[in-house]
Amino acid sequence: MEPRIAATPITWGFAGNNRWGIDLPQERILSEMVQVGFNATETGVPGFLPHDGIEARAILEKHGLRATSGPVSFVIHEEGSRQSALETVRKAGHRLVTMGGEVLITVPKPGNRKSGEQLDEDGWKRLCEGLDAIEELCRSMGLEQALHPHVGSLVETKEDMRRIMESSACGWCLDTAHIASGDLDPSDFLAMAGERVTLIHVKDLNVDLGRKMVQHKIAFDAAIRKKVFVPLGDGDLDLSGIIPLLPKEP
């Protein structure tokens, strides 16, 4: 079986609008992906590839690459927000399908919620029911959903992750660094999510800085500049211990 391993433009620091310094040229990033042995990539943040899926796919194919997954963010927990969120997801899903991708990475944004403010019961209900609606929409398009725990989103802490796992049937992205930042061991996350893991982001972490991000003691971009994410093997995570626990493909 061919290894299902892909690159992602964020590894080259492409965050858009020179957010983390200088966004390297698209041509250089894609060429270097191929040089180090990849034949697939995530689509990256908005602005890395053209919005038009056909045009974006042609660029990847010119380099011998295929798309695997791509992100979409939305507000779905606020009253009256679901239809707009589902339309955003539908458009992102259509683009990804056109590019030949398989997994839609979903990131629920906080919207008008203040930093550190908890959702009320109605907000949680709308969020979890909305994620289930997105799950159905993804399946109808031939995609899998991967809900991405992420600093600054509605899925930051281990409590957030546990609550959503109990109340929604959505698929998940195992992002080792963001999950550990939320004070949940990635191995424990795997035990909880099991076969619901549809995508894996392997990153190493300075755990102290990661926890401070989730505790709102340091901003995300400031933590990036302090090297919260480090080369594999240079951080605090037991990544080699996680690999044997990963779901096996049939």
For the stretch 23-68, pLDDT in tens is: 999 999 999 999 999 999 999 999 999 999 999 999 999 999 999 9
Structural domain boundaries enclosing 80: 9-245
Query: pLDDT averaged over the chain?
Result: 95
Question: Does 3 map to a domain?
Answer: no
Identify the burial level of 13 via C-beta atoms within 10 angstroms of its C-beta, where 0-12 means exposed, 13-18 middle and 19 or more buried.
Answer: middle
Element (H, E) at 223: helix 220-225
Task: Please count the structural domains in the chain.
Answer: 1
Question: Does 236 map to a domain?
Answer: yes
Question: Does 179 map to a domain?
Answer: yes
Half-sphere exposure of 135 (CA within 13 A, CB side): 15
Question: Does 250 map to a domain?
Answer: no
Split at pLDDT 50, 70, 90, the class of 1 is: very low
pTM: 0.95
Question: Does 81 map to a domain?
Answer: yes
Distance (Å, rounded) from C-alpha 78 to C-alpha 62?
Answer: 42
For the stretch 88-100, pLDDT in tens is: 999 999 999 999 9
Distance (Å, rounded) from C-alpha 172 to C-alpha 216?
Answer: 24
